Amino acid sequence: MKSLVAGWFSFDEVVATVGDLLARDALCRWLARAGSPTRVANAPLVGGGVDWRARSNLRAATG
């Protein structure tokens, strides 16, 4: 089952901090080591990604 990683970096109206982006990257690494495929919900300003509102199995990362 794929996990969707979301956090402040997923919202259009919010500016993500460096800590938010580092937390996102750390969570993606942990999930990869655990053998869990991931997708990331980045806001367009951060690089785009999948829409977090239409997904289940959400993993939130905060920095």
Confidence grade of residue 51 (pLDDT, cut at 50, 70, 90): confident
Q: Is the pLDDT assigned to residue 61 strictly greater than 70?
A: no
What predicted TM-score, i.e. pTM, was given to this entire model?
0.77
For the segment 24-40, what is each residue's pLDDT rounded down to a tens digit? 999 999 999 999 998 88
The 10 Å Cβ neighbour count of residue 48 is 10
Give yes or no for a contact between 18 and 27, defined as CB atoms under 8 angstroms apart: no
| Domain that residue 35 falls in | 3-61
* Mean pLDDT of all residues in 1-8: 83
* Total domains present in the chain: 1
Structure tokens at 54: 């239409």
30 vs 48: which has the higher pLDDT: 30
